Structure 1
Amino acid sequence: MDNDFADASAQGRTAWFAEQFDALAGNVESFIRGKPDVVRMALVCMLAEGHLLLEDVPGTGKTSLAKAISQSIDGSMRRIQFTPDLLPSDVTGVQVYDAGKREFVFHPGAVFANIVLGDEINRASPKTQSALLEVMAERQVTVDSIPYLVPRPFVVIATQNPVEQGGTYDLPEAELDRFMMRATLGYPDHDAEVEVVAQVTAGQSTDDLPAVLSTADLEQMNQIAAQVHLAPAVLAYLVTVTAATRTMPELRLGVSPRGTIATAKAAQALAATQGRSFVTADDLKVVAPYVLPHRMVLRPEAELQGRTASDLLDQVLSSVPVPQQRAGV
């Protein structure tokens, strides 16, 4: 009876999760037209408490998507416009001497928010970009040897333009690895673009979107997603997939253990959005193209041959046998 009650309780939690997710996705999609897959995967990333990198050409709605997500959450949001002269202290914060108190007082930087929008992140210097490494991995910043915790939940949504390279700096592998997912929006289809133009010319903006989820609800959803069952056979399948990338001759760098963990957490959140309390191999296959390719660094000769990380990932996924047993068992 106890096991039956626990299963019923788990199903009830994931059913509530799926209902909240649909409301959240519908709210964002009411402004971001024609991109339901990208919108929903971006929300899956957030519900797994992962960081998201949006990479696309100018004008495709990267910043609008990030703002629509943050506007839909009744929490704090800070925007950092990354520029070459941005300092690390602008991001993390700084200790300032207070003459009245005769002591140093910490002034929090822009990362002290539930959702941090890093716009054009690759325009900041490597020194400033490195200020994000600790907070993205550990949810804290250390200033003058004193650690300061950022609010929970905490999510970084960053954008970058892969086309215009003047005045930009490549994101190092250590920083890319801290982003759970990388996604592109692409150009909208005809009907979606008509709706977008009609919205904007009518004066609508992301500021008009209502908040449909509280930070308490979001934190609870993070906890529910983390409790979704991951069967040993499914976990073994995932590790086999990521480990296979480390021995591919075309790759200089394969997927790290952090990438394996990120895939598992994203699959847990995806399963919960569908009202399930267990992960299947199909869940892993759905999230893998968003979680793994940006962690796979090609050798120069492979790039000259026109190979891509996505192609190599498809090769691995097609070669690793899928577990036959039911994922929920």
Structure 2
Amino acid sequence: MPLRTPLTERLGIDHPILLAPMDVIADARLVRAVGDAGGFGILGGGYGNRAWLMQETAKLDGLRAPFGIGFITWSLAKKPDLLDIALAAKPTAVMLSFGDPKRFAPAIKQAGARLICQVQDEAMAEQALAAGADVLIAQGTEAGGHGASRTTLDIVPAIVDLAAGRVPVAAAGGLADGRGLAAMLTLGADGVLLGTRFYASQEAAGADEAKRRICAARSGETVRGIIFDLSRNNVWPAPFTGRCLVNDHARRWTGREVELLQQIERVSADYVKARTEGNFDVAAVIAGEAVGLIHDIPPASEIVMRIVSEAEQILQGRRNSSWLPRNSTEQ
């Protein structure tokens, strides 16, 4: 049975599970797979590659399931015409993250799309609501990629209280299974937005080696900082830093950021070469703290069904011993 919440009603979906718009990774194939499974796929518009965006939105033509397109707000401000390409694809919603959505909200609303805003504190949430946000994503620091410092357990109830039922709230950050969905629903959220769990899916447009490393990583083997942003000459505005898997490059330069800057031309050249060659000892695998919960690379549809089934059973009080911590037993 589907878990019905204000989020599923607002977006017209069966399950309160949203695909994070991971830059490049969340392509049309993955969006379709999540949507066909009853979730909400969001295309990763990211920094705004025109050719890629046109190519992937064309592949969504004829998709019956509701879907969205996501952008990094401060980057979209440099290429505002890309929003026209996105809206021409007739998405159910446009998701904006990391910046004031006010500039783009009128065009999104006029096109008949919902506005989803990802926020990291109450001030950002108030800003999003003032711009007319239809859905808020409360993102904790455990999330992969860029974010801020508030934990998921802290930020989610804070944003739920602030929203006060005006709009649905989805939780993001460190979530990858039915326990996470059940926990967030218990905290008052209306669903979850997942990135790393869907990165490790068959349809995700990531390198096989990157997916393998996500599955092999243990809890605690991610790091948040500015190393990979410095290395690729793409420093973000404060307060946002990036989380990725710990690798040789991160171990070498964490705590030595000033020295890295002094050698930036060489380091950047090496980093570009590593990304081109798929050398993930240097290039970052962007992933969140949920990696310790991820051990396989199934189809996206299986991920959706597995999470929903587990969450339903937990919420109904039928806990399975396999979900308990090791060395724990049912009472």
The structure whose Rg is larger is 1
More helix by share: 1
Return the TM-score normalized by structure 1: 0.28
